[in-house]
Copies of this chain bind each other. A is one copy, B any other.
């Protein structure tokens, strides 16, 4: 089976298994901190188990890197890594805010740049954003691309500032002061999907808090949709797949928008 089909089927099973949970008491609880460091909620546990069970069922030879479960070796001869955040936006899910997703990626080696397939499924609507390297990005079977409008008056800027330090917030302030439409919906992987569909023009997270499990799928989808994604020094975003990596990124729909953001960041 093609790898993208494995990821799509796994994401569909997560959707089916958790869709009754959001906003209910059943979704929450506190199951201690997962491998990624966040508090695990019941919906996270159910979603991860769904994926692990499926990969075992089809004897998929891989090593799983999970937000909650950590590293799970499903084979002695793995083809590669499955990188999963089974529920990104768990707080939204538990509260019933309709914005959370499941992020699944496959990498051949121990680096983000070796991700070949990625799926982000919107768990409140069932929409699936996905990409295979070199083959473009899709939403429910339809090709998608980043917005090519270059008029900054209407730019929508996604910005994650939750828990950000005053110093980094200060660095962002010229961008914030000049943006009329700042958004944060609370599930970064899904916001990468929306960026890839052209709904958001720029997406920035400079908190040094993003893990590879959060971004592996969204990054590939964004790049395949024609987006530019760099680290805080302006270099193409990459890292190994270690849990300790805490990343920052700037995604922009075109070079002009990216240059404008980098200029504003560097003029403090």
Residues of A within 8 A of B (CB): 39, 91-92, 94-97, 153-154, 156, 160-166, 169-170, 173-174, 176-186, 194, 199-200
B182 A162 Cβ-Cβ under 8 A? yes
Contact of A156 among B95, B154, B176, B180 (CB under 8 A): B95
CB of A182 to closest CB in B, whole Å: 4
CB of A4 to closest CB in B, whole Å: 25
A163 B177 Cβ-Cβ under 8 A? yes
B181 A183 Cβ-Cβ under 8 A? no
A154 B91 Cβ-Cβ under 8 A? yes
B166 A173 Cβ-Cβ under 8 A? yes
Residues of B near A160 (CB, < 8 A) are 182
A166 B177 Cβ-Cβ under 8 A? yes
Q: Whole-angstrom distance between the alpha carbons of A182 and B158 in the complex?
A: 12
Please give the count of copies of this chain that the complex contains: 2
CB of A172 to closest CB in B, whole Å: 8
**Could you name 18 residue pairs across A and B whose Cβ atoms are closer than 8 Å?**
A91-B154, A91-B180, A91-B181, A97-B199, A160-B182, A161-B161, A163-B176, A163-B177, A163-B178, A166-B173, A166-B177, A169-B169, A169-B170, A169-B173, A169-B177, A170-B173, A181-B186, A183-B185
Q: Whole-angstrom distance between the alpha carbons of A91 and B164 in the complex?
A: 26
Contacts known (A97-B156, A97-B194, A199-B95); A179 close to B163, Cβ less than 8 A: yes
Residues of B near A161 (CB, < 8 A) are 161, 176, 182
Residues of B near A199 (CB, < 8 A) are 95-97
Contact of A176 among B91, B92, B154, B169 (CB under 8 A): B169
Contact of A186 among B94, B173, B176, B183 (CB under 8 A): B183
Residues of B near A178 (CB, < 8 A) are 163
A97 B170 Cβ-Cβ under 8 A? no
Q: Whole-angstrom distance between the alpha carbons of A180 and B162 in the complex?
A: 5
B166 A181 Cβ-Cβ under 8 A? no
Q: Whole-angstrom distance between the alpha carbons of A164 and B174 in the complex?
A: 9
Q: Whole-angstrom distance between the alpha carbons of A174 and B176 in the complex?
A: 17
Residues of B near A184 (CB, < 8 A) are 182-184
Q: Whole-angstrom distance between the alpha carbons of A194 and B97 in the complex?
A: 8
CB of A27 to closest CB in B, whole Å: 12
